Amino acid sequence: MNASLCSMCAFAKSSIGRKIIVAVTGLALVLFLAGHLTGNLLIFAGRDAFNDYAQFLHEVFHGAGVWIARIGLLACFVAHVWFTILLTRENKTARKKYAHQATVQAPKSSLIMIWSGLTILAFIIFHLLHFTVKAGTDYASFMQVMPDGSERHDAWKMVIVGFSNPLVAIFYIIAMTLLCSHLSHGVASIFQTLGLRSKKTAGPINVLSRIYAIVIYLGFISIPLAILLFGFGCEACK
């Protein structure tokens, strides 16, 4: 038992072990994004569909489901950020700079991973305060009256009102652009770090990674763009 604990901590201290932790937590977050996007796109299906979905999320396992997901995601997120910061700090000190610097084939997105990542971190904190905690807003008072006269939280209206603020929408779009960049290198990296990339699969993995990043990007920005540019759902703002 002691020996196995010891080899676990050796793993978490080694460069490859920490990278594998970053890859596995990254994979969890990547899959979460796909689910989150699918749910969000229900906004275009209308107020009822979107609020049904929001209500469903809050009622799975008598309300425990959403907390299990939140705690799991938070753990992945913290581990992902923590280990990347450790690795990046080591990488910065592993060498001096060349007087004449050159890059042969590293993609731009791979060179700014820490910066795209930290911007996404800042965004997520804002995003949670904005839509989950609803700090400094009256979103919690938005109610949808059901045909039977009962009331439920109107998440649909919250999103429409939230994104009608151009500053919020612009910050959101900037963050999604960096997320797209982060994913285009990150998704491919998961395969390499978990040892699933070979000479044959390298090409398809790169393509898959880029396509995934673009789908996530277009999917997420479609919502603020629809609200801001095309006035989608704006009868709710009044």
Partner 1 sequence: MPLLNLTLKVWRQENAKSEGRIETYEAKEIPTSASFLEMIDIVNERLIQDGEEPIHFDHDCREGICGMCSMTINGVPHSKERGITTCQLHMRKFSDGETIWIEPFRANAFPVVKDLVVNRSSFDRIIAAGGYISVRTGSAPDAHAIQIPKPDADAAFDAAACIGCGACVAACKNASAMLFVSAKASHLNHLPQGQAEKDQRVLGMVRQMDEEGFGNCTNQFECEAVCPKEISASHIAKLNRDYLAASARDSVS
Q: Single out the residue of 64, 69, 1, 62 nearest to residue 31, CA to CA.
A: 69
Q: Residue 229 Cβ, how far from partner 1 at the closest point, in Å?
A: 37
* Of 68, 90, 166, 170, the one binding partner 1 by CB under 8 A: 90
**Residue list 124-163, contact with partner 1 (CB under 8 A):** none
- Name the helix (H) or strand (E) containing 143: strand 143-145
C-beta of 28 vs 73, nearer to partner 1? 28
Radius of gyration (Cα) for the chain, nearest Å? 21
238: contact with partner 1 by CB under 8 A: no
Q: Which residues of 195-234 are buried (b: 16+ CB within 10 A; e: fewer)?
A: eebeeeeeeebbeebbebbeebbebbbbbbbbbbeeebbe
C-beta of 25 vs 193, nearer to partner 1? 193
14: contact with partner 1 by CB under 8 A: yes
Residue 105: DSSP 8-state: S
Size of site (CB under 8 A) for partner 1 = 48
2: contact with partner 1 by CB under 8 A: no
Whether the Cβ atoms of residue 170 and residue 108 lie closer than 8 Å to each other? no
Alpha carbons 136 and 129: distance in angstroms, whole number: 9
207: contact with partner 1 by CB under 8 A: no
- Strand (E) positions, 6-75? none
Hey, what's the torsion of the CAs at 174, 219, 153, 161, to 10 degrees?
Answer: 50
Q: Residue 180 Cβ, how far from partner 1 at the closest point, in Å?
A: 18
C-beta of 103 vs 132, nearer to partner 1? 103
* Of 45, 194, 218, 234, the one binding partner 1 by CB under 8 A: 194
Q: Residue 65 Cβ, how far from partner 1 at the closest point, in Å?
A: 31
Task: List interacting residues with partner 1 (CB under 8 A).
Answer: 3-4, 7-8, 10-11, 13-20, 87, 90-91, 93-107, 110-111, 113, 185, 188-189, 191-199, 202
